[in-house]
Structure 1
Amino acid sequence: MAFDLENAGFMTRAIHAGQGPDPAFGALATPIYQTSTFCFDSVEDGMAKFDGATPGYVYSRGGNPTVRTLELKMAAIEGGEDCVAAGSGMGAVSSVLLGLLQAGDHVIVGDCVYGCTNVVIRDVMPKFGIEVTPVDTSDLGAVAAAVKPNTKMVYFETPMNPLMKVTDIAGVKRAVGEGIRVVVDNTFAPAPVQRPLACGADIVLHSVTKYLNGHGDVIAGVIIGSAEDIAVIKNIGVTKTSGSICSPFDAFLIIRGLQTLGMRVERHCANALAVARYLEGVPCVKRVLYPGLESSPYHELVITQMNGLGTGILSFELADDVNGMSSFEAGKKLLNALQLSHIAVSLGDPASLIQHPASMTHHNVSPEVRAEMGITDGLIRFSAGLEDAEDLIADFKQAIAQL
């Protein structure tokens, strides 16, 4: 009798779900099926596979055994019926929107999202006749008030990038009611931290580039939800409209990374909390945005919704005047003085990364919209790596001493 992985612990599912020894030769690691197309035993076999009457693969844009292993593993990790892997996080975002929305629909979107997501939702979607209303989704009353008769979706990140606000996922679902899909970008808080589907969300997506792969060497995305929704998103969004498919080699690397996800994420979160607590006591730091801090207004949601772990990301803002420097100038000097943290716009890598949202991840967002979001020129985002927390804090101390 097969082991009951559905009720197994997180690390057991992350390691074993979706994969086993390769049936062809018994390989322990999932093989890389690096092929564009697949051969059929006969014309009748090909017809049956194209029709879906018999299982199998016909062309890697529509399905590949290595990629399918990744999809099954992610569906098990997130607790969804099915998953489709995309070639990037933005491929996942765009495929959800293009697959499930049409002209005349209305979308409620978090008022602070990743810069490229913001461009697609606020600038591109309206060109196709899709109405968009930005809302602070951490305010459930504002979410409920934004619902219209043609509202079809609520889309948000939690925690939000880069302001680190946390949205009550179950509360949003209650606020909008049935018939409106709740879509959560869970990139900043992957399981075992947060499982949006268990909180009432209909669809969860990730930029796999970040924590899920965890090694800074892959660009990919995943979308998890009901089998019905994923079939539509896959057939319309991923494989046809955007053609944003995940490559077999990238899927192989992600499968490898997922097997250590639980241990890595716990270390990222612990390091971020340690650095956030240190920065709270630094005189030239105006504010620290980290939901895991006891002083955060979102701390209770971290306990109830995020398994008490928080996230590996924090943002902080320097004072308006730091020894005669503006917060922007002081921020540049601080980033340049750090020795362990690399200046880079990603997150979830083994190495700590730090960046300046106004000039980097949200540079393509207008200053007016950045101001609406609350992204100031002095805001800095830090992704805690897997280094020793004491060394990260020591590095911040020496850099701040130079201001």
Structure 2
Amino acid sequence: MDYTLFAQTVLLLQDNRLVVIGLCLISAILLSEWLHRLLSHLPAITGYLLTGLLMGPYVLGVLDGENLTQLSLFSDIAIGILLFELGRHLDWRWLRGEPRLVMLILLESLAVFFAVYLLLWGVGLQPLAAALLAIIAITTSPLILLPVLRESRAEGRVSDWAQVFAAANNMLALVAAVLLVALAHLAQTGGWQQALIGPMRELLGGLALGMLAAWLTCRFLHWLRAHGPHDVLPTLFLFGAVVAVVGAAKALVFSPLLGVLALGFGCRHIKSGEAVLGMQLDPLRSLFVCVLFVQLGASLNPSAWQGVALWTLLFLLVRTLTRVAIPYLLAPFCGLRHAQGGCLGVVLIPMSSLGLLAVHASVTTLPELDTQAAGIAAAALMVMELLGPIATRWALKQVGEIAEEGRQHVKS
């Protein structure tokens, strides 16, 4: 066998980054399908994550830092699509008629925050670091929740409420994180104007950008529908609106996460938004979600556990127990059974890295966030990204909201 030719071929493939990325995506799809056939309870995104972890720089090194940078554009688009769909599920008119659900969301978020904060502060973490990790603990990952719901074709009250919880939890966490960083800057500089203007501009700018884009999108799609049937153009326009909001928010230093959430929320509530409600981005979303989870898997660093394993396990244990206990105990007050409330808490277990990304740039300027806190966050996110999809699907199955196991396997 000509090993020289083989080595030259390997080097050629490594130099051609598009070939490497393409092969990794093909491997992700094949591994996902194989795992689903072997263990039908595993969601497709688990296969994507494992492929990324295996191919990433911390294991085989097929995907290096430059590959991951090239994939970041696709990942940003995937995050935009998923957050847009999450915002579109947040029905304000319905929530006004469900005050007990709103109270449950607030109580659950506050309970998770204070339980995690008191734990980390009690073991010696500095207050700012403990508070930021507690805010991240509030979040529920839409990147895991929505693909699992669609892949499982889950339907029912727990599935519907989980999407509302995820949207509300992430919005609360985003606002709390930005305000916390502002307060930290205020304590350092003593100037409230300098400390508050930047964060408020980021939040209000993202909200205004998303609502303006929603109004323009609804107006155009309403006009388009009134002038004859169209198959592809409305979907492409809606996709373009999501991408444009993400790009514009980054360019203007607004919050892109809040921008696309507001875009989805606005498209649901603006009067002419009926033209948007029935539209789906499924074909486009599937590709970008695959890329996103391959990149997330490649970013997982097993060495993040070094020195923080015990604190990470305590963090995850307290967060999980609190997140499950509150809905379990208060479920009857909202019209659910205790078992449904407990399973709702399990569905909400996947933790979002979006909260960490949202404050990362600001936090790097604050010396109070020590390396131990960053290690706990990275290790906890790694565990949640690998085990979260399995826990979510298991809980949905327990409440009978997943389609029959013999169904055709639908990719996320």
TM-score, normalised by the number of residues in structure 1: 0.22
- Which structure exhibits the higher relative contact order, with contacts defined as CA atoms closer than 8 Å and separated by 6 or more residues? 2
Could you say which structure has the higher helix fraction? 2
TM-score, normalised by the number of residues in structure 2: 0.21
Could you say which structure has the higher strand fraction? 1
